[in-house]
Amino acid sequence: MIQLLYTVIFAEVALIMTLLFKTPLRKLVIMTLDRIKRGRGPVVVKTIATTVFVVLLSSVYSILKIQRGSVESGVLSPTDQILMAKHMLEASLMGFVLFLSLMIDRLHHYIRELRLLRKTMETAKKQNRGFEDGKNASAEEVKALGEEVAALKAKIKRLESECETKGKELKSAQAETEALRKQADGFLLEYDRLLEDNQNLRNQLESIDQGPGGKKTM
């Protein structure tokens, strides 16, 4: 029993030393502990720990029983001394085993938390870098948009100038059209007057060509 406890203690100490220092073996140990804590592993570990704790209480009870018997008899026999020392050693070793087991569990938990924290920090750093890169890209895009806006403003001014010139030309063309229309109206009036004069002349010629009594003169 004592040899088994010593073996377990040495194994736990070696496991703790492996967890304390960053070596390729630590990764394997952490993966093994992760698998142990999955499925039925926690139940088995708790069962073993409970058994060790019960045996520890039994050893403590045996020590108290031997002490009580020695108090009643007033004498502690060599056999009782050996048994008492044996139970005390077993209780100490089992307590140390439970303590080291708790240390291994906490170390494993803290290492996992540390790894998750590092991953979170790396993710945050990557996001920060991406944000800074995006910010720089946004600044370049804003600069490019500013240049494009400036070019569009210049184009708008040029188009406004051309539009103003075209407007002046249109007004001039409209004035010329109005003058031509008025001139055409004058021509139409003159044409109507000429037609009327022509008709009058024809009437006069017809009246001259006709003789007295409504007959034409030879």
What Rg value do the Cα atoms of the chain yield, rounded?
59
pLDDT at position 76: 64
Q: Report how far residue 203's alpha carbon sits from residue 197's, in angstroms, rounded to the nearest whole number.
A: 10
Position 192 confidence tier, pLDDT thresholds 50, 70, 90: confident
Position 171 confidence tier, pLDDT thresholds 50, 70, 90: confident
Position 137 confidence tier, pLDDT thresholds 50, 70, 90: low
CB 118 within 8 A of CB 30: no
pLDDT at position 187: 74
Q: Report how far residue 199's alpha carbon sits from residue 207's, in angstroms, rounded to the nearest whole number.
A: 12
Q: Report how far residue 218's alpha carbon sits from residue 210's, in angstroms, rounded to the nearest whole number.
A: 9
Is residue 80 pLDDT above 80, yes or no?
no
Domain spans, the chain: 2-146
CB 217 within 8 A of CB 211: yes
pTM of the shown model? 0.52
Percentage above 90 pLDDT, the chain: 0
Q: What is the mean pLDDT of residues 56-74?
A: 77
Rounded to 5 degrees, what angle do the CA atoms 21, 16, 50 make? 155
Of 114, 4, 112, nearest in space to 51 by CA: 4
Is residue 46 pLDDT above 80, yes or no?
yes
CB 73 within 8 A of CB 63: no
Per-position DSSP letters for 57-75, written without gaps between them? HHHHHHHHHHHHHHHHHS-
Of 18, 19, 41, 17, nearest in space to 115 by CA: 19
pLDDT at position 217: 43
